[in-house]
Amino acid sequence: MPHNAQDWETLDKRFLWHPFTQMQEWQRQPQLVIDSGNGVWLKDINGRRYLDGVSSLWVTVHGHRYPPLDRALTAQLHKIAHSTFLGASHVPAIQLAEELLRWTPKGLRRIFYSDNGSTAVEVALKMAYQYWQLRATNGAARATPRTQFLTLENAYHGDTIGAVSVGGIELFQERFRHLLFPTRSVFSPYCYRCRYRTKAVQRTRTPREAPPAPGRPGMYRPETGCRWECLGAVERIFKKHRHRLAAAVIEPVVQAASGMIVMPPGYVAGFAALCRRYGVLLIADEVATGFGRTGRMFACDYERATPDFLCVAKSLTGGYLPLAATITTETVYRTFLGRYDEFKTFFHGHTYTANPLACAVAVENLRLYRRRRVLGQLEEKIQALREALSVLRERPHVGDIRQAGLMVGIELVKDRATCEPYPLAAQVGIRVCAACRPRGLLLRPLGNVIVLLPPFAITAPQLRWMVRIVGTAIQQVTGTK
Ligand SMILES: *Cc1c(COP(=O)(O)O)cnc(C)c1O
C-alpha cells in the first residue's frame, strides 16, 4: 500500500478511467485526490482545503458530514444495509414515499425508485411508452400506440442509451447516432442565442411579454422582438404528430448540463399547457433542478406545472448516496394493473432499487427541509449571489450570466458584441476553473460556461469570496481587466 499522496495519484493514473475525462490529459497533469470533507469544504490528501463550488457535481445540500444525515445513515446501518425491493418492502422506502409526496406537484402519487438520474429518465420513457400500448389494447385510445418522444435541443437527461436518445447535445450523441432511437426535436428557449433574436432582444436578454396562450402561437411583439417562436414550434409539432407522441421531455426552468440555460418566465407553463391541450404526456426531468436548487422545491412549482412524470435524483439524499425516483400519476399507474397473465407488468428494476441506506438518508434530508426551513433560508443567499455576480456582468469576455436560485452559469465569449463563442479546443472554461484551484475553489465547467452551484450550507460572505475568485480567474485566463 502506498504511503504518501504522490503514490495514490500514481496508482490512480495506472488503474483508473474517469467519467467525461480525456485520460491522456489527466495523465499529464497533477490531479486532486480528496480525503475528507466538512460543511462546504473538501480536503485533499495533502491537507489542502477547497470550497466545493459545484456541490460534488450538483448533489450536496446541507454540506459534507452533516451530523443529522450522518446519524440517519448510521442508525440504518445498525439495522440493515440492503435488502431487495423485488418481492419485499422496507420501512425507509415507505417513509421516503410519504415525505416525497408532501412536496411533489399535485396529481403525482406513485413512486418508482431507481439509482440515478439516467435510470429515473429511462423509467419514465419506458412507462410512457408502455402506457400508450396498454391504452391501445384496452381499447381506450387509437389502435396504434404512440411511440415517439418530443425533445428539446440542448437537453441533457443522462448517459444511458435511452436518456442519450432524448438528449440534445450533439457532442454526446454523435458517436452513438446509430444506436439511438429517433425523436422529434424542437429548439430550446436559449434567449442569449435565440435564432429569432433581434437587436432589441439582445438588450433585454429575456422576453418580458407573457407566453402565447395555447392555440395562439407566434404573437409578434416588436418592442421585445421575441415571437415566442420556441412555444409556437412545439405547438406545430403537436398539431401534426400528437397521435404519434407518447411524451414530451423537458428539464423545467434550467437546461443544466448544456450550460445552465435559464428559460424565460412562462415557457414551462406554456409548454405544460400545450401538453395538456394536445394530450401528450409530460416528463419533467428535475434531476438537477429538484430539491430547492432553483429556490423552489421543484422548478415546476414556479410555473404551477404538473407533469405526468417527475424524475428526481441528484440532491434526493442531500448528496450522500445514489438514489432516484420517477413519480407519476394514479392514471398512469392504474393503466398497468391487470391479471398476472395479461402481462401488463412494468418489467423494469435494478438490483439496488430503493437501497435502505440511501432511503434512510433521503428521509432525514427531506425532514430537514421541513424542520429547518431550508428553502426559506436560501432567499438571502440567492440575493447575495445575484448582487456579487452583477460586478462581473460588464466584463469584456462575459457574454451572459444566468442564475436560477443557487444555480449559475457564466458564459464566456470571444467577442461580446457578436456573442462569438470561444472554440471548445481553447479550453477556456477548463483553464478558468484550473486558475481557481490554487486559490482554494474547486469548480467544474461546462464547455465555455463557468458553473457555480454551491451547497446550500454556504454563507453570503463565502458566496462573495467565490465570485471574487472567479472574477480574478476569468481576468487571468482571458487576459483582460
Ligand atoms: C445529471 C442529470 C441526469 C443524469 O443523472 P445521473 O445520476 O448522472 O445519471 C439526468 N438529467 C439531468 C437534468 C441531469 O442534470
What letter would DSSP give residue 148?
A: E
Are 181 and 158 in the same domain?
A: yes
| Biggest CA pair distance of the chain | 71
* Distance of alpha carbon 34 from alpha carbon 47, whole angstroms: 9
Strand 309-312 vs strand 324-329: parallel, antiparallel, or unpaired? antiparallel
* Distance of alpha carbon 107 from alpha carbon 116, whole angstroms: 23
At 359, the amino acid letter reads C
Are 398 and 436 in the same domain?
A: yes
Please say whether the beta carbons of 440 and 50 come within 8 A.
yes
Are 48 and 166 in the same domain?
A: no
pLDDT < 70 stretches in the chain = 1-3, 139-142, 196-227, 481
Are 39 and 176 in the same domain?
A: no
User: Do the domain assignments include residue 446?
Assistant: yes
Are 153 and 167 in the same domain?
A: yes
Are 37 and 171 in the same domain?
A: no
Pocket of ligand 1, candidates 157, 160, 451: which has the most ligand atoms within 8 Å of its Cβ, to mutate? 157
Pocket of ligand 1, candidates 55, 115, 116: which has the most ligand atoms within 8 Å of its Cβ, to mutate? 116
Please say whether the beta carbons of 408 and 428 come within 8 A.
no
Are 149 and 248 in the same domain?
A: yes
Q: What sign results for the dihedral spanned by CA atoms 135, 139, 140, 143? A: positive
Provide the domain count of the chain: 2
Indicate if ligand 1 lies below 6 Å from the C-beta of 154: no
Closest alpha carbon to 295 in 320, 265, 270, 317: 265
Q: What is the pLDDT of residue 227?
A: 67
Are 183 and 97 in the same domain?
A: yes
* Distance of alpha carbon 306 from alpha carbon 16, whole angstroms: 42
Are 388 and 367 in the same domain?
A: no
Are 400 and 359 in the same domain?
A: no
* Residue of minimum CA distance from atom 10 in ligand 1: 157
* Distance of alpha carbon 367 from alpha carbon 102, whole angstroms: 10
From 371, 387, 413, give the residue that closes a domain: 371
Are 323 and 471 in the same domain?
A: no
Structural domain range at position 414: 32-61+375-478
* Alpha carbon of 308 to ligand 1 centroid (Å): 19
Q: What is the pLDDT of residue 2?
A: 57
Residues constituting the chain: 481
Set of cell numbers at residue 42: 473538501
Determine which helix (DSSP H) or strand (DSSP E) holds 352, and give its type and residue range. Answer: none
Q: What is the pLDDT of residue 194?
A: 83
Indicate if ligand 1 lies below 6 Å from the C-beta of 451: no
* CATH number of the domain bearing residue 285: 3.40.640.10
* Alpha carbon of 216 to ligand 1 centroid (Å): 33
From 345, 371, 397, give the residue that closes a domain: 371
User: Do the domain assignments include residue 12?
Assistant: no
Pocket of ligand 1, candidates 310, 314, 350, 446: which has the most ligand atoms within 8 Å of its Cβ, to mutate? 314
3-class secondary-structure state, position 336: coil
User: Do the domain assignments include residue 10?
Assistant: no
Q: What is the pLDDT of residue 138?
A: 75
* CATH number of the domain bearing residue 446: 3.90.1150.10
What letter would DSSP give residue 35?
A: E
Closest alpha carbon to 397 in 473, 306, 331: 473
3-class secondary-structure state, position 474: helix
User: Do the domain assignments include residue 39?
Assistant: yes
From 371, 404, 424, give the residue that closes a domain: 371
How many other CB atoms are found less than 10 A from the CB of residue 397?
21
* Distance of alpha carbon 150 from alpha carbon 152, whole angstroms: 7
Q: What is the pLDDT of residue 1?
A: 58
Are 353 and 425 in the same domain?
A: no
* Alpha carbon of 119 to ligand 1 centroid (Å): 9
User: Do the domain assignments include residue 154?
Assistant: yes
Question: Which residues lie across from 412 on neighbouring strands?
Answer: 398
User: Do the domain assignments include residue 89?
Assistant: yes
Q: What is the pLDDT of residue 220?
A: 31
Does the predicted TM-score (pTM) go above 0.85? yes
